[in-house]
Structure 1
Amino acid sequence: MSKLSLKLGIIFFVTLFCIESFMMFFLHVSLTNSRVEEELDSLQARGNSHRAILEQNFDLETLSHVALMESEARTDVVITDKDGKVLANSQFHPETEDYFTNLKKSIPYMGLILEDNWEREAFIATISPIQKDQTTIGYVFMFQNTESIHALMERLNKHFLIVGIVSGLVTIIIIIILSRKLAYPLIQMKEATLKLSKGDFTVALNTNGQDELSDLSNAIQKLSEELNHLRQERKDFLSSIAHELRTPLTFIKGYTDILYKRDLTEEAQHQYLAIIIEETNRLARLIRDLFDLAKMDENSFIVTKEPLDMTEFFANIEVKLSPAFQEKQIHFTVQCEERLTLMADSSRLEQIIMNLLNNALAYCAAGDTTTVTVKRLNQTLRIQIEDTGRGIPKIDLPFIFDRFYRVEKSRTRALGGSGIGLAIVKELVHAHGGEVTVHSVETKGTTFELLFKGVGTNDNNLINR
């Protein structure tokens, strides 16, 4: 009973067996009753036919003739007078005598069935009154031995038994085929899930069809592909973390060894200590970013929204980053529509903008331009960060928000970055209920567009931070 095909087969068989048994029983009863009614109608019609003859000539010769006609038939006739005295019969049966002597009820002219219990009685019987001048002068009793009906029923039961056996065998064969056909994809799915549980994501299921089993197969197939993708992402993630951690640790260890083992000048010591501090800061930023990503994955990342004055917010951003852009001789401007407020987390929104501007700072050269534009668009706040830097190759655009994905595959220290800054930007924007998109043309520049709901108007020109 552990196999699904066996369980399905038993359920189908019991269901069809009950339906077929009911139908066979109903058909058997209907045929039996119909056949018995035909025998009784035939017997009544035969008695009425003899009655018609006797009404024309009710004499001894006619009585004998009628009795002689039934002597060779499988039915028997008994003719009596109106008081039940036997005048003629084709064959006398003592057990039928009670029908003559105990006749007390009124008999209609079309006749009456005296006995129809073929299962218990030896005979079925009918009666037809003989009338002359609308006065009953006698009766025609017709009898038929029920052995013939029992023989007919035995033949009928035998046929039903044969049909039942044949239909049962055919049903079992069909059920076996259907149950296996239904169970086969389920068995495949079970084997596929077992492979998935063991870490084997190379699952191939038949997803053709429009039924629920095909939908389930398609879902399992997609699950295996997603798990395989996640496993590959995990491998890449671990590899990227190892690389990103190894690089600053290598610098820190190398220059620490140099400082420890060599007698260096004070200038060289300061130079190496500066590198160690820089790599330590880089390592701290990476760990902080990884910690933020972990909290986002666990849905334990908290965004505390408050009304922010956009003019003041972006003025502070401009003050913080202008020196860095000026040092690289990059034109940096901020254009913010006045009196705009946004429901957002101040520190997290600053993290978003700073990450995007640091990218622009890294990929722009002297003479390039970086522009931040903040304006209201219907019921949303649109923030555009546009630069005229190196741009992003078209092949890389769909992946730039993936974790540890870097357009610069060489991972040089000159360009910096760990490849998770834009991933954090995307998560933070979504945490604010916003959307982030990017448009870029290689060698012409890149534009990041942020759309946030919850924009308002600061009519009182209040400082909300």
Structure 2
Amino acid sequence: GVRKASSMLSVQKASLTDGTAVYVFLNAVVTPVDATVQTLRNQLLMITAVLILLSFLLSTLLSRRVTSPIVQTTLAARELPKGRFEPKKSKMSYREITELNRTLTQAARELSKVETLQRELIANISHDLRTPLTLIGGYAEVMRDLPGESTPENMQVIIDEVGRLSTLVSSVLDASQLQSGAAPIQLASYDLTESILAILTRYQKLTEQDGFQIAFEYDRHAVVTADEVKIGQVIYNLINNAVTYTGADKRVTVRQTMQAGRVRVSVIDTGEGIPADELDTIWNRYYRGQKPHKRAAIGSGLGLSIVRGILESHGLEYGVSSEEGKGSEFYFWLKLDGDGGRTIGDGRTIGR
């Protein structure tokens, strides 16, 4: 058993300054060592038990707090293969988990955009293919059943619709190659002005038959280093876009200006303009403005997307400025070779 406490008496003799002898008695209670050890042991066990309980509670709370966003992120990741791309934000503040959740959220958004683009791509291509195929089939049946309808005019309709199909397929292929990086850039020095003049000759029929007026304004010939074919495709697509959306006066202006060792090529129309909140989205595939246009159906919807891909692959500055009710101006910049200019020339207008 535990020993009981005992007392200890101590006597000490001392002398005062005058020589008087005195005795000092000291009586103290002495606790046995075994009792002290037992008390400390009991206290240590109690403290240990409390610490274990607190540690368990704290670790449980922390583990739930840490694993909850991980579980949510895991569940969200499992939903991605099912086509459910709704991002779920976590309330966790730990940096690594927050970054993981942010990455998954961004991936979900991008996958959602891809899914939307795929659906729009199929819908738009189906629509664009259906119209010319219907016309070709209809005219072919009429010409088969009615020999008198085998006229050059009906044949020309079929030829024109075949051309539209070819243009659409080429646009889809170009857009796919640009996105995949399978369209290498072939840089060479060439006369940009002569290239634009050659492109404008393609619109001779359009200006003669439909009354469009396409003006080319420049003061000197510009020599640049770029991929002539692809830059020509950019200019061609921008002119097509301007022809589609220009105003009732059917006027389109191609302008070439030189400034500080660079040349700026811009294509200007007189249409209804583009709302400010749509200026960043017009470069997307198959983007259609909120305001329908009677000539918008003739395009493939890929022109500006192709323009963006080519210009970005060249690392060129480009953009668009627009004012509603007055028209739009699409432009891009190229660096001039050497002094950049040669041969004084005059502006040229194609059409009436």
Question: TM-score scaled by structure 2?
Answer: 0.80
Show the counterpart of 2:4: none
Q: Could you tell me the percent identity over the aligned residues?
A: 27
Provide the residue aligned with 1:429 in structure 2: 311
Deviation at 1:413, TM superposition (A): 7.1
Q: How far is 1:297 from its partner?
A: 1.9
How many residue pairs get aligned? The number is 331
Cα distance, 1:377 vs structure 2: 3.2
- CA RMSD in angstroms comes to 3.5
CA deviations over 1:73-101 (Å, ceiling 9, x no partner): 888xxxxxxxxxxxxxxxxxxxxxxxxxx
CA distance in 2, matches of 1:413, 1:450: 25
Q: 1:317 aligns with which of 192, 199, 210?
A: 199
Look up the match of 1:237.
121
Task: Classify 1:168/1:364 alpha carbon distance in 2 versus 1 (closer, same or farther; 3 Å).
Answer: closer
**2:233 aligned with 1:351:** yes
* Aligned residue number for residue 243 of structure 2: 361
1:264 lines up with 2:134 in the alignment: no
SS at match of 2:32: helix
Q: Deviation digits for residues 149-183 of structure 1, max 9, x if unmatched?
A: 24322321221121111111111111111111121
Aligned counterpart, 1:92: none
For residues 133-144 of structure 1, the aligned pairs below 5 Å read: none
Normalized per residue, which structure has more strand?
2
Structure 1 residue identity aligned to 2:317: E
Q: Is the 8 A contact 1:311 1:340 kept in 2?
A: yes
Unaligned runs of 5+ in 2: 1-7, 17-21, 344-352
- Greater relative CO (CA pairs within 8 A, separation 6+): 2
How much has 1:375 moved relative to structure 2?
2.3
Kindly report which structure 2 residues correspond to 1:215-294, keeping only aligned pairs within 5 A, or say none.
215-260=99-144, 262-265=145-148, 268-294=150-176
Distance 2:72 2:340 in 1: 66
Structure number with greater Rg is: 1
Tell me if 1:455 matches 2:339: no
Give distance in 2, aligned partners of 1:408 and 1:206: 36
Q: Secondary structure at the match of 2:153?
A: helix
Partner of 1:370: 252
Amino acid of the residue matched to residue 288 of structure 2? R
User: What is the rounded CA distance, in whole Å, between the counterparts of 1:203 and 1:256 in structure 2?
Assistant: 51
The 2-side partners of 1:244 and 1:184 are apart by: 48
The verdict on how the C-alpha distance between 1:411 and 1:390 changes in structure 2, with shifts beyond 3 A counting, is closer
**For 1:400, what is the secondary structure of its paired residue?**
coil
Deviations 1:341-392 (A, max 9, x none): 2221111111110111122233346744322222233354321111224444
Q: Distance in 1 between the 2:78 and 2:41 partners? A: 52
**Per-residue CA shift, 1:280-318, capped at 9, x if unaligned?**
111111111111111122121211111222232233234
Amino acid at match of 2:152: H
The answer for the alignment partner of 1:162 in structure 2 is 46
- Write out per-residue CA displacement over residues 225-274 of structure 1, whole angstroms, 9 at most, x where no aligned residue: 332232222211111111111221222222222223x1322x63322221
SS at match of 1:399: coil
Pick from 62, 65, 75 the counterpart of residue 191 of structure 1: 75
Q: 1:297 aligns with which of 176, 179, 195?
A: 179
Post-superposition offset of 1:415: 5.1
Query: Alpha carbons of 1:411 and 1:369: their partners in 2 closer, same or farther (altered >3 Å)?
Result: closer
Out of 154, 172, 175, the residue aligned to residue 59 of structure 2 is 175
The answer to whether the 8 Å contact 1:369/1:389 transfers is no
Structure 2: which amino acid aligns with 1:286? L
Stretches of structure 1 that go unaligned for 5 or more consecutive residues are 1-42, 57-61, 76-146
Partners of 2:322 and 2:247 in 1: CA distance? 16
Q: Which residue of 2 aligns with 1:341?
A: 223
Q: 3-state DSSP class of the match of 2:151?
A: helix
In the alignment, what sits opposite 1:21?
A: none
Query: Structure 1's 312 and 458: CA in aligned 2 closer, same or farther, altered over 3 A?
Result: farther
TM-score (normalised: structure 1): 0.62
Whole-Å separation in 2 of the counterparts to 1:367 and 1:322? 17
Corresponding residue of 2:321: 439
Q: 1:328 touches 1:366 (CA, 8 Å); kept in 2?
A: no
Deviates more, 1:301-310 or 1:330-339: 330-339
